Amino acid sequence: MESGGIAIVTGASSGLGEAFARELAGASAGTARYRGLPAFDELWLVARRADRLDSLAAELCRAAPGLTVRAVASDLVAGGAVESLAAKAAETTKPLRVLVNNAGYGTYGDLDDTDTARLLGQVDLNCRALTECCARFSRLLTRGSIVVNVASLAAFAPLGGFAAYAASKAYALSLSVGLAAEWKARGITVCALCPGPVATEFSLVASAGARKEVKHGWPAVKTARACLRDAISGAWISMPRPIWRLRRLAGWLAGPELSASFAYRFMKRPSVPSRPDV
């Protein structure tokens, strides 16, 4: 692998983002797993929890001595955050070779029971910040660069009891595939990762503590690994598990009305009502 480029992972303090960061650091240390991955010699880890980023950065620096790993504590929905991140990346004058737009969260439960600020924060992060990252980092991408946008299996069908999250991921998928078409001529691959359940802190956050673990979650490292391979091969959508592809098909066959009603009735997700007035 040649050197001289940046890889950025957002939401790198836990779950899928942490797994992507570990895989990318391993790749830069010379594992043969990712033949065709564009070259980079800096890995930026972005999220809000600085302590977690610092310890992961220290660990990855030790594991991959030739790689500069930077912990960048940033709240991506804060005003000017993405702009300043892109400005810092531009200052290095290095091309952005890999961008993993992974930061995101959900809110389980009825919209009526959900604190409006949490609800809108989710849309802000999953949709607005994602779009801003694509827009502001675009000029730093070069031929051969890879962008992974983390959407979800929930992108393919509306879900009662998880309505705003599914809608936000439908947006993420649509944006990603649209950009894949636009940036193909620039030689840039854009891949939307659409996983089903993955074992991360997702449920803990989405349920406001009511469910500690993602039910039937697939290992994050396997998901990240399969996605990177798919992205390197030029795929626009990555759904590594056959069961996830089957569920996508089932949602398509059922149609949006039945999918939403079925999910609301039979796939209840635990939540702690978080409306201040509840």
Ligand X SMILES: NC(=O)c1ccc[n+]([C@@H]2O[C@H](COP(=O)([O-])OP(=O)(O)OC[C@H]3O[C@@H](n4cnc5c(N)ncnc54)[C@H](OP(=O)(O)O)[C@@H]3O)[C@@H](O)[C@H]2O)c1
Residues at the contact surface with ligand X, assessed by CB under 6 A? 10-17, 47-49, 75-77, 102-106, 125, 150, 152, 195, 197-198, 200-202, 205, 214, 217
- For 277, the token pair is 């007035």
Nearer to ligand X, 52 or 94 (CB): 52
Closest CB to ligand X among residues 41, 211: 211
CB count in 10 Å sphere of residue 113: 15
Greatest Cα pair distance in the chain: 57
The residue among 15 and 109 lying less far from ligand X, judged by its C-beta, is: 15
∠ Cα 201 234 18 (to 5°):
20
Q: How far is the CB of 216 from ligand X (least distance, A)?
A: 9
Q: Where are the beta strands (DSSP E) in 151-210?
A: 189-193, 198-199
The kind and range of the H/E element at 276 are none
- Residue 2: CB atoms within 10 A of its CB come to 9
- For ligand X, give the closer residue by CB, 14 or 41: 14
Query: What is d(CA 88, CA 38) in angstroms, rounded to the nearest whole number?
Result: 21
Closest approach of ligand X to the CB of residue 32, in Å? 26
In the bound state with ligand X, the residue whose beta carbon lies nearer, of 115 and 144, is 115
Active site (annotated) includes residue 165: yes
Write phi, then psi, for 238 (nearest 5 degrees).
-120, 120
Least distance in Å: CB of 47 to ligand X?
Answer: 4
DSSP-assigned beta bridge partners for residue 189:
146
**Chain-centroid distance, C-alpha 6:** 17
Q: Write down the least CB distance from residue 110 to ligand X, Å.
A: 19
Burial of 8 (0-12, 13-18, 19+ CB in 10 A): buried
Q: Does residue 126 contact residue 105 with C-beta atoms inside 8 Å?
A: yes
The minimum distance between CB 104 and ligand X, in angstroms, equals 2
Give the span between the Cα atoms of 98 and 40, in whole angstroms. 8
Catalytic residue chosen out of the listed positions 105, 165, 171, 264: 165
The residues annotated as belonging to the active site are 165
